[in-house]
Amino acid sequence: MESINGSLRRLQTDHVDLYQAHRFDVSTPLEETMEAFADVVHSGKAHYIGVSEWSAEQIRQGHALARELKIHLVSSQPQYSILWRVIEPEVVPTCEELGIGQIVWSPIAQGVLTGKYLPGQPPPAGSRATDEKSGAGFIARFLNDEVLATVQRLKPIAEGAGLTMAQLAIAWVLQNPNVSSAIVGATRPEQVHDNAKAAGVKLDADVLKAIDEVVNPVVERDPGKTAQVARRP
């Protein structure tokens, strides 16, 4: 309750449309978490609730409790990209069944899918991979020569589709019918404009096939890795 009140105060509003749980709280009974969500919704401070990086079974349990408490669990916020597809085997089918949409984060794989990280070369100065306080830990899983060399092979596919590498990556996640939206990060306004151009792009079946043929050897699909974050060296 302190968190939602603080958020509303900072946003200068009396409610938010969507309020999400960030990661599954293993130290608190799920019933308590959902009851707290219900208090927020029934008090009018949020209309809908969502979760982030929950497994399929956790989502199913949370959805059942939400229905009992007369609130609507409508969103899942997982990591999802051309390279990281751990939600496809279990989370996506479960959410399709329950009427839950994905608001995916890191569709560009922390910047790796822009192609700016090159195999055998140090990360560009000022990039996420050089930020030891935050970004370096997240991106580490992708910074090996096999992955980086594979990403470079996506460039002609993007060029053939008339897209930048970032646009191709964002457009790819938006092709999944269970994906409602993609969260993108940017350090400059022009990056926001560039990323936004991916909205509404329809990738042809041959483009999707070509992408899969290139990246298949390095794609992570293990549903057991939902919510896992790479540890810093």
* Residues β-bridged to residue 220: 84
Q: What is the pLDDT of residue 142?
A: 86
- Asked whether residue 69 is assigned to any structural domain, the reply reads yes
Q: What is the pLDDT of residue 226?
A: 83
- Asked whether residue 62 is assigned to any structural domain, the reply reads yes
| Pair (113, 226) in one structural domain | yes
Q: Is residue 231's pLDDT more than 50?
A: no
CATH number at residue 113: 3.20.20.100
- Asked whether residue 98 is assigned to any structural domain, the reply reads no
CB 109 within 8 A of CB 172: no
| Pair (158, 223) in one structural domain | yes
Q: What is the pLDDT of residue 117?
A: 87
Among 36, 60, 77, where does a domain finish?
A: 77
Instruction: For 105-163, write each residue's pLDDT tens digit.
Output: 999 998 899 999 898 877 666 565 556 665 556 677 888 999 999 999 999 999 999 99
- Asked whether residue 198 is assigned to any structural domain, the reply reads yes
| Pair (38, 144) in one structural domain | no
Q: Sorting pLDDT into bands at 50, 70 and 90, what band is 233?
A: very low
| Pair (70, 112) in one structural domain | no
| Pair (122, 189) in one structural domain | yes
* Residue 208 CB burial class (10 angstroms; 0-12, 13-18, ≥19): middle
For residue 43, give its domain range. Answer: 1-77
Q: Name the residue with tokens 């993609």.
A: 182
Q: What is the pLDDT of residue 140?
A: 76
Instruction: For 3-57, write each residue's pLDDT tens digit.
Output: 999 999 999 999 999 999 989 999 999 999 999 999 999 999 999 999 999 999 9
Q: What is the pLDDT of residue 151?
A: 96
- Asked whether residue 40 is assigned to any structural domain, the reply reads yes
Residues 6+ apart with CB under 8 A from 19: 4, 37, 40, 41, 45, 46, 48, 49, 50
- Asked whether residue 4 is assigned to any structural domain, the reply reads yes
Q: How many domains does the chain have?
A: 2
**Separation of CA 154 from chain center:** 20
CB 87 within 8 A of CB 54: no
Q: Sorting pLDDT into bands at 50, 70 and 90, what band is 232?
A: very low
- Asked whether residue 121 is assigned to any structural domain, the reply reads yes
Average pLDDT over residues 66-79: 97
Among 27, 59, 77, where does a domain finish?
A: 77
Among 77, 96, 115, where does a domain finish?
A: 77
Give me the sign of the Cα torsion angle 117, 119, 125, 129: positive
| Pair (151, 43) in one structural domain | no
- Asked whether residue 84 is assigned to any structural domain, the reply reads no
Instruction: For 180-230, write each residue's pLDDT tens digit.
Output: 999 998 778 988 898 999 998 999 999 999 999 999 999 999 998 887 654
| Pair (181, 124) in one structural domain | yes
